[in-house]
Chain A
Amino acid sequence: MASEVTDAALIARVVVHDDRHAFSELVRRHQSAVRATLRRLTAGNHALADDLAQDTFMLAYRNLKSFRQEARFPTWLYRIATNAFLADARKRKEELLGDRDANLVDDDDNEAPNPEAQGGDHARGAALKLDLERAMAILSDAERAAIVQCYHNDLSHEEAAYVLDCPVGTVKTHILRAKQKLKSRLAAWAPE
């Protein structure tokens, strides 16, 4: 059965025989994780996330021969996806910053976190989740990437450093700063 074939075996078939069916199986297996990660990185822009996910798998196909198993295959995909996101973000920086500033003004005016307005625990939890997603948008691209890799993708600092292509210390700094920003932004949710 296809599900019993390991990623390594599928990769070997793609590299040696240019087996398209094996590559499509790899895409099918990992598309959800890669797209979900990019949705987080793009702060919920699903269309952009899917475009970047396509670019990610195209790059993975072209560079599969250079994959030396120095990391797990999904981690290698996260690295390509994060690089694609950061490159795209650099390209769109001015436009993104403009949009984000506008959104922040709107958020500050109309959608500031208000835990008191929520009812039961379930409603409070859902509201906190929504506010957290919005607050993620105020982080820098690198800070958001560090949070997404370490929390959402459950990578170690070392793995996140590999994905972000930076020293481990830089990852820790990004996380610390991101948490400070989130804490400040979500101060209304802090217990008394």
Chain B
Amino acid sequence: MSDRASSPIDRHDDWLERALRDDALVHRAEYLPDDGFTARVMAKLPATLSLPSWRKPAVTALWAAAGIGIALALPGAYADVLREYLRIVAGHPVTLEQIATGVVMLGVASWTAMVWALRRN
């Protein structure tokens, strides 16, 4: 090693200092062949937590089924409210500017959602 581990006392122990340094040089020059060591370490690592490929479509189908189930289970009052809302919206005169604004807002919302999803991934 360098002078880092030396102290004034070491000057009287040159032979020991030299022996330690020579031994250290041999140690640093020595390369131990792998001999399967890396493979043994890798075999002992915990298994990776991998999810099956069918998991995502299965979850999507489950959510869709749950959504349909909830919609069918809703009391008739909810369906009446929705039907009335659609009738009012359909009966209301819509201008070309309103349609354009709606399309632009829908586009902005879609792009925002897409960017957010990509960044999250």
* Residue in A27, A32, A50, A190 whose CB lies within 8 Å of B31: A32
User: Judging by beta carbons under 8 Å apart, are B23 and A151 in contact?
Assistant: yes
Chain A residues whose CB sits within 8 angstroms of the CB of B38 once the complex forms: 24, 27-28, 31
Q: Which of A36, A54, A61, A154 has the most CB of B within 10 A?
A: A154
Nearest Cβ in chain A — how far from B23, in angstroms?
A: 6
Given contacts A50-B37, A53-B37, contact A61 B13 (CB under 8 A): no
User: Judging by beta carbons under 8 Å apart, are A36 and B19 in contact?
Assistant: no
User: Judging by beta carbons under 8 Å apart, are A18 and B48 in contact?
Assistant: yes
* Residue in B13, B27, B41 whose CB lies within 8 Å of A27: B41
Nearest Cβ in chain B — how far from A132, in angstroms?
A: 6
Find residues 18-37 in chain A having any chain B CB closer than 8 Å to their own CB.
Answer: 18, 20, 23-24, 27-28, 31-32, 35-36
User: Judging by beta carbons under 8 Å apart, are A132 and B44 in contact?
Assistant: no
User: Judging by beta carbons under 8 Å apart, are B27 and A40 in contact?
Assistant: yes
* Residue in B4, B10, B48 whose CB lies within 8 Å of A179: B10
A178 nearest CB neighbor, chain B only? B20
* Residue in A35, A54, A190 whose CB lies within 8 Å of B32: A35
User: Judging by beta carbons under 8 Å apart, are A152 and B28 in contact?
Assistant: yes
Mask, A126-162, CB within 8 Å of B = 1, is 0011001100000000000001001111111100000
CA gap between A157 and B1 in the complex, in Å: 11
A-B contact count (CB 8 A): 95
Interface size on A, residues (CB 8 A): 41
| Binding site secondary structure of chain B | helix
Quick check: is A98 within 8 A (CB to CB) of the other chain?
Answer: no
User: Judging by beta carbons under 8 Å apart, are B4 and A157 in contact?
Assistant: yes
User: Judging by beta carbons under 8 Å apart, are B15 and A20 in contact?
Assistant: no
Find residues 160-192 in chain A having any chain B CB closer than 8 Å to their own CB.
Answer: 172, 175-176, 179, 182-183, 186, 189-191
Nearest Cβ in chain B — how far from A163, in angstroms?
A: 13
Nearest Cβ in chain A — how far from B101, in angstroms?
A: 42
Find residues 71-130 in chain A having any chain B CB closer than 8 Å to their own CB.
Answer: 125, 128-129
B21 nearest CB neighbor, chain A only? A151
CA gap between A27 and B9 in the complex, in Å: 39
User: Judging by beta carbons under 8 Å apart, are A128 and B4 in contact?
Assistant: no
* Residue in A28, A125, A128, A151 whose CB lies within 8 Å of B5: A151
CA gap between A157 and B7 in the complex, in Å: 12
Quick check: is B103 within 8 A (CB to CB) of the other chain?
Answer: no
Interface, chain A (partner B; CB < 8 A): 18, 20, 23-24, 27-28, 31-32, 35-36, 40, 50, 53-54, 57-58, 61, 125, 128-129, 132-133, 147, 150-157, 172, 175-176, 179, 182-183, 186, 189-191
Interface, chain B (partner A; CB < 8 A): 1-2, 4-5, 7, 9-10, 13, 15-16, 19-24, 26-28, 30-34, 37-38, 40-42, 44-45, 48
